[in-house]
Amino acid sequence: MSNTEAFLYARQCRVVVAKLRLCWNDINEEIKSLLKHKEYTEAAIEHIRKDLIINKESVKIRKKPKREAVLF
């Protein structure tokens, strides 16, 4: 391999490394965004679970005793 070929090969390798770094940064930013959305989604699910539990408990409280129920 001549010096010229070695220089061109090294230059191409640096270009590839630079492109990979850009892709790596983009992927890291996407991961951060996805993790943030995951946290928001998990928090929303937890609130929905709490709301369902409260709703279920309030339905039990609101049920009329049998003596007050209307018979048809």
Q: Is residue 31 part of a domain?
A: yes
Q: Is the pLDDT of residue 36 over 90?
A: yes
Q: Is residue 22 part of a domain?
A: no
pLDDT band at 60 (very low <50, low <70, confident <90, very high): confident
> Mean of the pLDDT values across residues 4-32?
97
Q: Is residue 65 part of a domain?
A: no
User: The domain containing residue 34 runs over which residues?
Assistant: 27-56
3-state SS record for 25-40? HHHHHHHHHHHHHHHH
Q: Is residue 35 part of a domain?
A: yes
> Mean of the pLDDT values across residues 7-34?
97
**18-30 residues labelled b (16+ CB within 10 A) or e (exposed):** eeeeeeeeeeeee
Question: Max alpha carbon distance in the chain (Å)?
Answer: 101
Q: Is residue 32 part of a domain?
A: yes
Q: Domain count of the chain?
A: 1
